Amino acid sequence: MSKIVIAGLENMAQEMGCSKKTVYKWIRERDFPAFKLDGVWRVMPRDIEAWLAAQRAEAERCDSDCATRGGRKAYA
């Protein structure tokens, strides 16, 4: 069985080059994969890697959609 790694938000924010405030915002607004353990927010690095990959894929899809529309956003 592999070792489970759990990190605190402060460590994760530092690794990602952002503030804890930004990470809290991602938890609220962007489905950031964090959980509370004994009242303290924690993350699992493998979940963060998957989340970042999904964010990159979404950004690439949006960039591709924008390029196919002549570089302009389409509004409904």
Q: What is the pLDDT of residue 41?
A: 92
Question: 8-43: per-residue pLDDT in tens?
Answer: 989 889 988 999 999 999 999 988 999 999 999 999
Domain segments of the chain as ranges: 7-68
**Is residue 51 within 8 Å of residue 17, measured between CB atoms?**
no
CATH class of 7-68: mainly alpha
Distance CA 52, CA 29 (A): 15
Count of alpha carbons within 13 angstroms of residue 17, beta-carbon side: 0
- Please tell me what DSSP assigns to residue 2: P
